[in-house]
Amino acid sequence: MIYAISGCIIFGTHYLLKENQWLLKKKLWQLIFGAILIVGVAVLLSTWIGSLFPVIGVTLVCATMLQIKYTHQVVSQRLG
């Protein structure tokens, strides 16, 4: 499960950056890097306490933040 979540995050990040190089100029890469680090910490915490709830929660929060930022930047690019 943890490997599947990590793999999806890495694949999604690669696709996002491959298709939208202009997003790197808008500092989205910092948010992506931060999200990967936070999920990594959640994986360590989850291993320590023996529950997947921290990983699930952090993954949902990070995915929501990335989607909001991505949508905002796509709209900004199309309007501007």
- 50-77 pLDDT, tens per residue? 888 888 888 888 888 888 887 877 787 7
pLDDT of residue 40: 86
Percentages (nearest 5) of helix, strand, coil residues in the chain: 90, 0, 10
Over residues 37-50, the mean pLDDT reads 87
User: By C-alpha distance, which of 35, 34, 26, 18 is closest to 71?
Assistant: 26
- The pTM is what? 0.60
